A = this chain, B = another copy of it.
Amino acid sequence: MLSPARFVLAAALLLVLRLPAPAPVSAARPIVADKPAPSEATATARWLAAQNTWGVLSTISSDLNGAPFGNVVSYSDGLPGEGHGIPYFYLTTLDPTARDALEDERTSFTLSEFPLGTCGKIDPENPTCSKLTLNGKLKLVDLQSSEADFAKSALFTKHPEMKDWPKNHHFKIFKLEIENIFLIDWFGGPKPISPSQYLEFERNKQSVMSS
């Protein structure tokens, strides 16, 4: 039998243990390590670019008389844990996206937080499930440049099978020169982030990019 004092203590302990935790801002959202707070818009944009491995690249379609054309592509913005924010792609002109970009460089690249699994039960279109659209020009990277070496290393580390893709498909490295950033990571509309804020963010905040 417990003494009355111990009984009170035990009852109090049980009460504390059984009390519900304070309700989080969004009950269905899991707490995710490494994900920046919604107030840190630039960090969130860079986190989305560093954590994802694929997205949709949209071009102005020459096959479809200038209509937009979105295509699923893989990409990398750096080695795991060392994202630099610029997405590099490994594309073949057998695919319409690369052909389109060589005729009209204007391109949009779109990423969602949803496939990372960190939106929990929040709907993919809910503004608190973040999404990033980078607009700019899709440029060929000179295969003889040091940038191409960096891009190959970044791509082949996150996408190991790429290095074995058929040589006769003549895959080329492309990069997105970012001119406009559209980020939604909370209520209240897109966050204003300039390309320089986005690209220079890493200098002081490498830890956010860990994956």
Contact = CB atoms under 8 A, between A and B. Distances in A.
Interface of A: 53-61, 64, 66-74, 90, 94, 96, 106-112, 114-115, 122-126, 131, 133, 135, 159, 161-162, 180, 182, 189
A58 B68 contact: yes
A71 B57 CA distance: 11
Contact of A131 (B72, B106, B180): B72
Given A54-B112, A56-B58, A70 B72 contact: no
A133 B69 contact: yes
A116 to B, nearest CB: 10
Count of chain copies: 2
Contact of A68 (B107, B182, B189): B107
Given A58-B56, A115-B115, A69 B161 contact: no
A125 B90 contact: yes
Contacts of A60: 66-68
5 contacts: A68-B108, A72-B114, A72-B124, A74-B124, A125-B159
Given A90-B125, A110-B72, A135 B54 contact: no
Judged by DSSP, the binding face of A is strand
Contacts of A162: 123, 125
Contacts of A66: 60, 106
B54 A94 contact: no
Contacts of A112: 54, 56, 72
Contact of A71 (B61, B106, B133): B133
Contact of A64 (B110, B125, B131, B180): B180
B159 A106 contact: no
A133 B73 contact: no
Nearest to A171: B125
Contact of A110 (B71, B96, B115): B71
A70 B73 CA distance: 13
B68 A125 contact: no
